[in-house]
Amino acid sequence: MRFWRHRLQSQLLFSVVAALAVAALSALLIGEAVNTAQSMVVADARHTLSRALTALIQQYRERATADPEWSSLPFEAQDFSLHAVAQIVFKSYPDVEGGYYYDKRRLGATWEAHATLERAIDGLIARATSEGSATLVTSDGKDLFVMEARHIAEPNLCAWAVKRLPGRNDPWTGQRAFLLVALALAALVSVGGAIATGARLHRGIAEIRRGLIALEHDFEYSLPQRHDELGEISAAINRMAAVRRVLEAEVAREERLRSMGRLVAAVAHEIRNPLNSIRLAMEMIERRLHRNTLRPDDLRMVCNEVDRLNDLLTNLLTFERAKTPQPERQQLVPVLNRCVQLLRAQAEERGIRLAVADHEASIEAVFDAQRLTQALMNLLLNGIQATPRGGSVQIGIARHREAIQLIVRDAGPGLTGEQQEHLFEAFYTTKTSGTGLGLAVSRELVTSMGGQLTYEDGKPGAQFVICLPSSVETYG
């Protein structure tokens, strides 16, 4: 019984022995293939030499071009300089040496060869001078040498390189046939165990895979019980699924609570701005009533904010926020003036000047007026709260390529690097009282209209840029 429970381990051990035998057999076969693949090694060496010569020629041209007096330098000075150049080039090409030939003399050579190879190199240079390039494969009886030379577009000047391929003496040549037969028999004997192990593993893993797929759709599913090593894995998966069911229930409950909290915070943030504007407008109306200076526009401001608050609540109840916005090409100035008018009383109460910079009155962009108003109100309120008494908050308009930019700039202290990293994250705030949703909501509103909201360092102060498409063709 114990053997049957651990038969998979025994089969795996048997398979490992078979794998080692096959690996040894493969190593010997590869060794035989390497001995008969000299042409491939030579081809690789030629490729390396070609790249090395290209680099060598390029470095020579850069050296000669950089020094106007290069051609007039003494031979010894040129040899010393080119020797350093060749050493630098050949550091990138292991086992490659070479240099230059000029007027049957070496320049900058990094390799000294014996007489036999000297004659071979001289012949190679002669061929390259007449044919443009030449290659040669030769041997000194022990090692193999692959050589290549290339003529440079100057009289009697060639670059050459050589790669040495060490020879090998294999004392096992007479014994390889016997070893190959023995290892082949060992591999054949072990192949039965490997096949049995593979088939059993395949069936067990397929069963576990089917169970995992079922668990993706049905948390109550349990894998069938097994009586081997894979059975322990099945049991562990079943225990994990049970724990997951408990955790899923807890996560769902926590997510419902978090969603409720986010919803409450978002609603509070969205209705606070209109309520503040209404309160300040009513205070102003009260003062003007006492002075008998009340104007119809004062009441219109309150009505507009009530309408905006009603729209926000309607959107919340009907999930309007999830619907697609309705951007259209229209003038920007009325929206900016309306935002400034709504917040002017609040700015004056804090001793802050709120103004719209000089701009083209008829400039147009593609946007949803309600969403842009909401985003601008958030940015202006942040600017008013960050600006000290006596400062100013300005809105400017600029053209940028195929877009229109709205620039809201305050005179506050600006933001630190850490604050900028989390600037548009929901619920991140540096204020003692605030939900941290203002900038996140504003970016979402601008993005939904096909625009972008970014932050720039005003130095001093903070500067937010709303980029809107200037035409329907560039929208989205």
The whole-number pLDDT of residue 173 equals: 42
The full set of domain ranges for the chain reads 37-165, 325-469
The whole-number pLDDT of residue 52 equals: 87
Residue 227's Cβ-count burial label (10 Å; 0-12, 13-18, 19+) is exposed
Q: Is 270 left (phi over 0), alpha (psi -120 to 50) or beta?
A: alpha
- State the DSSP H helix or E strand holding residue 466, giving kind and residue range, or none if neither: strand 462-469
Query: Which one, of 32, 306, 66, 286, lies nearest residue 183 by Cα?
Result: 32
CATH code assigned to 325-469: 3.30.565.10
d(CA 298, CA 282): 9
Residue 83's Cβ-count burial label (10 Å; 0-12, 13-18, 19+) is middle
The whole-number pLDDT of residue 367 equals: 92
The whole-number pLDDT of residue 3 equals: 45
Query: Which one, of 459, 451, 351, 465, lies nearest residue 407 by Cα?
Result: 465
Tokens of 80: 């010393």
Residue 173's Cβ-count burial label (10 Å; 0-12, 13-18, 19+) is exposed
The count of other CB atoms within 10 Å of the CB of residue 362 is 8
Q: Is 182 helix (H, G, I), strand (E, B) or coil?
A: helix
Place of tokens 């051609």: 71
Query: Which one, of 411, 350, 342, lies nearest residue 373 by Cα?
Result: 342
Write the DSSP symbol of residue 462. E
d(CA 378, CA 373): 9
User: Helix count (H) and strand count (E) of the chain?
Assistant: 12, 12
d(CA 70, CA 81): 10
pLDDT digits (tens, 9 = 90+) for 19-45: 666 666 666 665 565 566 567 878 888
pLDDT digits (tens, 9 = 90+) for 174-226: 455 566 566 666 666 666 666 766 677 777 777 777 777 877 777 677 777 77
Determine the distance from the C-alpha atom of residue 120 to the mean position of all C-alpha atoms in its chain, rounded to a whole number: 53
Place of tokens 């322990």: 232
The whole-number pLDDT of residue 318 equals: 44
Tokens of 14: 């048997």
The whole-number pLDDT of residue 465 equals: 93
DSSP symbols for 276-301: HHHHHHHHHHHHHHHHT---HHHHHH
Tokens of 380: 């202006």
What is the pLDDT tens value at each position of the chain, 476 positions in all? 444 445 555 666 666 666 666 666 666 665 565 566 567 878 888 888 888 888 888 888 888 888 888 778 888 888 888 888 888 888 888 888 888 888 777 888 887 766 667 888 888 888 888 888 899 888 877 778 899 998 886 667 888 889 888 764 444 444 555 665 666 666 666 666 667 666 777 777 777 777 778 777 776 777 777 766 677 777 787 778 777 777 877 877 777 667 666 666 666 766 777 788 788 888 888 888 888 877 777 777 778 778 777 766 665 554 444 457 788 899 998 999 889 888 888 898 889 999 888 777 788 999 999 889 989 998 998 899 889 999 999 999 988 878 899 999 998 888 877 778 777 776 656 665 555 567 888 888 898 888 999 988 767 788 999 999 988 766 65
CA distances (Å), origin 307, targets 30, 282, 300, 342 = 83, 15, 10, 13
Please, what CATH class does the domain formed by 37-165 belong to? alpha beta
Query: 318-335: buried (b, 16+ CB within 10 Å) or exposed (e) per residue?
Result: eeebeeebebeeeebeeb
d(CA 42, CA 385): 76
